[in-house]
A and B are shown apart, each in its own frame.
Chain A
Amino acid sequence: MLSTSVAGLALASPTMLASGILGYSAESLNRVARAGAGSVVSKSIGVEPRFGYPNPTVVQAEAGLINAVGLPNPGIDLYSEEIKFAKIILKIPLIVSIFGYSADEYATVAKKAVGAGADAVELNVSCPHVQFTGSEIGQNPKLLTEVVEGVKAVVNKPLIVKLSPNVTDIAVTAKAAVKAGADALTAVNTLKALAIDPETMRPILSNIKGGLSGPAIKPVALRAVYDIREELPDVPIIGCGGVMDWQDAVQFFLAGASAVQVGTAVAFDDLEVFASINKGVENYVRKKHYGSVKEIVNLAHRS
C-alpha cells in the first residue's frame, strides 16, 4: 500500500527525511528510519569541513522557519566513515546530499559518497544562503548542466537534483537537470527570505538572509511539482516544502510526486510525524479505493 520507488530506489514508505535535518550521525538517521521514513537524506556534505554560521541560524516566521545554518559538515573524508556505519545499521536507502563550489568538487564528493556506500546522491544546487554554491549553481542552467553531467560521469547510483524555487520558471532548470542526466528531482529547497527585529532594528539571522520552509511555502512547492510534471511527464519527482501532515503529502502525490521529504514538521510534531503521515496516506488511498500510493501519483493532471 505505501511502498513506492523513486529512480530505482525501493521505498517502504513514501516519506523521506529532508536534507539538513539531523543527518550528521548514523544513529540519528536510524532513529528517523525507525520512526517510519522510507529513506533518509544526509546533511549536505562538501569536500572540506565547514563550521557553518554563528547563531541565530534559525528564526520562527509567521508560518514556517527561516534558516541559514551555513552548510556545516565534517567534509566527505570524515563523513565517509559515518556513511559506512549508517549502511551497517540502516535498513532503508541512504541518500547523501552533496554540495561543492565547482563541478569537479560535486563529482569528487559524489564519487566518495557512493564509494562509501550511499544508495543515491542528492545534489544540493539550491541552498539559498551560501555564496558560490547551492542556488547560485541551480539558478543557472549552464552551471547546473556542468555539475549534473560531472557527477553523472562518475557515479552509477541514482542521481537526484534538488531544485531551487528561487527561479523565474522551475521547468527550465528541471529540464536542464534531466537533460544533463538527473534520474529524479526534489522540488523544492527553501525560499530565500529575511526576518528583521523591530526593537533592535537588525536582521535576526547572523547571515542576514536565509531560506523559508514550512507551511508558508507549501503552495509554492506544490505548484513547482505540478509545473515540472506538466513539462516532464516521466521524471520521478520528490515533493518537498511544507509537508506537515498526510493531507499535504497526498496533495504532492496528486501533483506528481512519488514521495515527499519532511523537514520543518519535525520541529513541530517531532519524529512521530513520519508514522502519522504514513498512516493518513494509507487511509486515504484505501478510502479512495486505490491499491497503492503509486496509483494516485499525477492524478491531479487528468483533466
Chain B
Amino acid sequence: MSTSLIAANTLRTTEIVQIRTDSPSVKTFAIVDRLCAKAKPGQFLMLWIPGIDEIPLSIMDVNNGVVSVSVKQVGDATRHLHDMAAGQTVGVRGPFGNSFTESRGRVLLVGGGTGTAPLMFLAKQLSAKTERLSFVEGAKTKDELLFIRELNGICNEKSLITTTEDGTYGLQCMVTQPLASLLDKEKFDMIYTCGPEVMVKKIFELTEQRKLPLEASLERLMRCGIGLCGSCVIGKYRVCRDGPVFTAAQLREVQEELGISKLGFDGSRIPF
C-alpha cells in the first residue's frame, strides 16, 4: 500500500498566509503546506473550507513551502473562500494527479480564464529550459486577464498573445482564434493547454489536424480526488487519478465526451 499516497490524502489544517486579488472574480490564496509545496506543474490539491465544502484546485505556484492557488468565484464554496481573510484556517489534501511533461525546444501554452493558473506554474519551470516559450491567454474582458505582468516577464512581447471577448485588451476574439495561423506559421515541439473544456476541444481539433503533440489539463466535478468515487470520469479515465493532464492520444480515446458532456452530482451525463 502506498504510504506516500496515504500521507498526501491525510487532511492537514493550515493558515491562509496571504490573499491577493488578481481580477474582479479571481483571488490567489497562499497557504503553507510541505507536501503540496513539492507538487509539479499540473497537479492539484483538495482545499477544505471548514463547514462549507472541499474543492479541487490547480496549483498555481510553489515557493519555499508556500503553495498558491488561484480561485474564481463561481459558487457557494468559492464565495465563502473569497470572504475569508489571511490567518484563517483551511484544510488541504494532496498533491494529487499527474503533471505536465517537461518539454524542451519550442513550446506553446494556451490558457483560458483560470486555466491560466497551472500554466503559470509550468511556464515558470519551463522558461529557463526551453528554446522558446509562447503563451496565448484569453479572457472575457481586460479585467479578467490573469498574470499579464508576470507573463510579460517570462515571455518576450512577441511571444505573448492576449485575447478578450469584448476587445478591451489584445485581440477581440476567442483564445482559439489566433491559434490556427500561429500553428501554421511556427513550429512547436509541444502545446500545453488548460481552460474550459469546450476550448480544450477546439484546441485539440486544431492540433490534431496538424498532427501536433498536445497536453491538456481537464477539470471535472470531483469528490474523492483519489480515483475511487468515479465522479470525474471522462470515458475510461478518471481526471483526478489518470489526469488531470491528458495527452493527445488519450484525448482521442474520449472524443465522444470531450467538450460535449460530463457527469453531474447524481452521476447523470450533462451536456456542456
Chain A residues proximal to chain B, CB less than 8 Å: 20-25, 27-28, 30-31, 43, 49-52, 54-60, 65, 67, 69, 72-75, 78-79, 197, 199-200, 202, 204, 206, 215, 244-245, 263-270
Majority secondary structure, B binding face: loop
B228/A56 in contact, CB under 8 A = no
Main secondary structure of the interface of A (DSSP, over half): loop
A25 engages B1 (CB within 8 Å): no
**Among the listed A52, A215, A244, which residue makes an inter-chain contact with B266, where contact means beta carbons less than 8 Å apart?**
A52
Most buried by A among B89, B224, B225, B233: B224
Q: List 30 A-B contacts (CB under 8 A).
A: A22-B229, A22-B230, A23-B230, A24-B267, A27-B235, A49-B268, A55-B54, A56-B54, A57-B223, A58-B226, A58-B229, A65-B9, A69-B229, A72-B266, A72-B267, A75-B266, A79-B267, A197-B11, A197-B13, A197-B50, A199-B13, A200-B91, A202-B50, A204-B11, A204-B48, A206-B53, A265-B1, A267-B224, A268-B2, A268-B6
For the complex with contacts A60-B6, A244-B1, A266-B228, 19 further pairs of A-B residues with Cβ separation under 8 Å are: A20-B229, A21-B229, A22-B233, A25-B230, A56-B11, A57-B224, A58-B223, A58-B225, A69-B223, A78-B268, A197-B91, A200-B91, A263-B228, A264-B228, A265-B1, A267-B226, A268-B1, A269-B1, A269-B2
Residues of B at under 8 Å CB distance from A?
Answer: 1-2, 5-6, 9-11, 13, 46, 48, 50-55, 89, 91, 93, 223-231, 233, 235-236, 238, 241, 263-268
CB distance from B88 to the nearest CB of A (A): 10
Residues of B close to A74: CB separation below 8 A: 266-268
Asked if B265 contacts A52 (CB within 8 A), the reply is yes
Nearest CB of chain B from residue A296's CB, rounded to whole Å: 24
**From A79, A263, A266, residue with most partner B Cβ within 10 Å:** A266
Q: How far is the CB of A90 from chain B (nearest CB, A)?
A: 12
Given A202-B50, A269-B2, A72–B228 Cβ distance below 8 Å?
A: no
Of A31, A55, A269, the contact of B55 (CB 8 Å cutoff) = A55
Q: Which of B13, B51, B241 lies in contact with A270, CB distance below 8 A?
A: B241
Bound CA–CA A300/B246 (angstroms): 47
* Minimum C-beta distance from B176 to chain A (A): 27
Are B236 and A267 interface neighbours, CB within 8 A? no
Q: How far is the CB of B219 from chain A (nearest CB, A)?
A: 15
Max chain B C-beta neighbours (<10 A), residue from A20, A197, A199, A267 = A267
A215 touching B1 by the CB < 8 A rule? yes
The 10 A-B residue pairs whose C-beta atoms are closest, nearest first, are A55-B54, A74-B268, A22-B230, A199-B13, A51-B265, A24-B267, A49-B266, A56-B54, A31-B236, A27-B236
Bound Cα distance A52, B53 (Å)? 13
A245, B227: Cα distance in complex, Å: 18
- Residues of A contacting B223 in the complex (Cβ-Cβ under 8 angstroms): 52, 55, 57-58, 69
Distance between Cα atoms of A140 and B257 in the complex (Å) = 43
A22-B224 Cα distance, complex, nearest whole Å: 11
Of A23, A30, A72, the residue contacting B236 (CB under 8 A) is: A30
Question: Least Cβ distance of B9 to chain A in Å?
Answer: 4
What's the minimum C-beta distance from B239 to chain A, rounded to whole angstroms? Answer: 12
**Interface contact B233-A27, CB-CB below 8 Å:** yes
Q: A21-B230, A57-B223, A57-B229 are in contact. Are A73 and B89 (CB under 8 A)?
A: no
Q: Given A25-B233, A199-B89, answer yes or no on A56-B48 (Cβ-Cβ < 8 Å).
A: yes
Residues on A with beta carbons closer than 8 Å to the beta carbon of B228: 20-22, 58, 65, 263-264, 266-267
A49 to B55 alpha-carbon distance, docked (Å)? 23
Contact A73 B91 (CB under 8 A): no
Contact across chains for B6 and A72 when beta carbons are under 8 A apart: no
Q: Chain A residues with Cβ under 8 A from B53's Cβ?
A: 54-55, 206
Cβ-defined contact, A60 with B11, below 8 A? yes
A59 to B92, CA, bound (A): 11
Across the interface, B9 reaches (CB within 8 A) one of A51, A67, A267, namely A267
Cα distance A21–B230 in the bound complex, in angstroms: 7
Residues of B within 8 A of A263 (CB): 228
A117 to chain B, nearest CB (A): 18
